[in-house]
Amino acid sequence: MNNMFVAALLLLVVQYQQTRRLRFAVLGAFTIGLGLSNQHTLLMYALPLVAWMLAVARGQLLAPGTFALLCLAGLLGLSPYAYLPIAGRHAGCVRPHPPLTETQTQTKKTPASAPNGQGPTVITLCRSLLLALLPFPLRAAPR
């Protein structure tokens, strides 16, 4: 996935160099932030590219409003880190299922934590994450 972020960043830098549209610089800043939340070695690619872009288009990118927008896009890209406090608060809800006892092995019964005995399902985890992040309660849609 790190290679995908590097390729996307290179594409956005080339697009910015060809068109000088601010949209590509902002998407590049977002890609850097998102890529850094995945793999920190992206910094080895991002720093030289950012230095080159600032050298080429210093006047446009260092304008106060534009620079603030670029910083905001980079911070928005780092938003997966906002999940860490939520995950820490609910650290006990996801744990590996206990090993089967000899009786359970012989009768092929699994613990009743989930239908397959593997703990919470992905759908259950996504639903709990969504409910934790939304500022308003969700209601079921009428059928």
pLDDT tens readout for residues 24-50: 999 999 999 999 998 889 999 999 999
Whole-number CA gyration radius for the chain: 23
Tokens of 47: 């720093």
Q: Which of 16-30, 45-59, 80-94 has the lowest mean pLDDT?
A: 80-94
Q: What is the pTM of this model?
A: 0.61
Count of CB atoms within 10 A of residue 58's CB? 10
Half-sphere exposure of 29 toward its Cβ, with a 13 Å CA cutoff? 18
CA 130 to chain centre: 14
Higher-confidence position of 41 and 103 = 41
- Reply yes or no on whether the pLDDT at 70 is more than 70: yes
94-102: average pLDDT: 62
88: enclosing H helix or E strand: helix 83-89
pLDDT for res 99: 65
- Answer yes or no: are the C-beta atoms of 94 and 54 closer than 8 Å: no
pLDDT for res 110: 47
Tokens of 40: 């920190």
pLDDT for res 20: 92
Tokens of 9: 């960043």
Closest CA to 65 of 120, 32, 25: 25
